[in-house]
Amino acid sequence: MTEKKVVEVWENWSKKRSSYPVYDNWLDTYHAVLENHKKDMILDLGCGIGADTAYLLERGYSVLSADLSYEALANIERKLPKSKTLQMDMTVDFPIADESYSLIIADLCLHYFSVKDMIHVMKEIKRILKPNGILLARVARVDDYDYGAGVGEKIEKNYYFEGSYYKRFFEEEDIQKYFSMIGSISYRKTEMTRDEECYTKPKKLYEVKVMKGDGSC
């Protein structure tokens, strides 16, 4: 799939979900982490429709919402006037300076990459995190059958072309392999439900917290 086609897919996806962002409360678990970064701008990486951006702004946090889709960012700007946005492609070098952020949220956006691109993304996240900075993320599990696990053309292990986009489903060893490139990790199995059309059943996920380190763990 060409870069142009990838952008078109996510532009169309964003147009279909242009109402006020609907979020679940997964970040409640990390209230203490969020409060420790109250004075800092939080990066909502791969923000999509702005679900986590809305959650954070409503609670008084400063957020930079970054996404590939211009349509998604335009919708965030319309619905969330206090938002700041950045258009970016995670498969190339991030247009962000080294050690810029102490907290990054990457919710449901890191399971769309090949092994090569995943390694690049993890290196870039580590580069832009401040020392002891934290990444909070959620990614699809290999048993997320209601949302495409094992379906489509197999490109790599647990990575499929579903007809319009590529999607990866994570095993526990994948969590260790990729996220430990950034630093020390903790993770758990969880499920997500949101009151919106595309999530009518619980979505099976890994929830991951990473503190930036030297990558030797």
Taking Cα atoms as reference points, which of 73, 68, 75 lies closest to residue 112? 68
DSSP for 140-162 reads EBTT-GGGTTT-SEEEETTEEE-
- Candidates 82, 71, 134, 91; CA nearest to 3 is 91
Per-residue model confidence as pLDDT tens for the chain (217 residues): 445 445 665 555 555 566 668 899 999 999 999 999 999 999 999 999 899 999 999 999 999 999 999 989 999 999 998 889 999 999 999 999 999 999 999 999 999 999 999 999 999 999 999 999 999 999 999 999 988 999 999 999 999 998 888 999 999 999 999 999 999 999 999 999 877 667 778 999 999 999 998 543 3
List strand residue ranges (DSSP E) for the chain, in order: 41-45, 62-67, 84-87, 101-107, 129-140, 153-156, 159-161, 166-168, 183-192, 203-212
Q: Which residues of 68-99 are buried (b: 16+ CB within 10 A; e: fewer)?
A: bbebbbbbbeebbeebbbbebebbeebebeee
For residue 46 the two structure tokens come to 């791969």
Lateral strand order in the sheet of 166-168: 153-156, 159-161, 166-168
Note the pLDDT of residue 2. 46
Cα 89 from Cα 68, distance rounded (Å):
5
The domain limits of the chain are 3-212
CA-closest candidate to residue 124, choices 178, 176, 85, 182:
182
**Which CATH code for domain 3-212?**
3.40.50.150
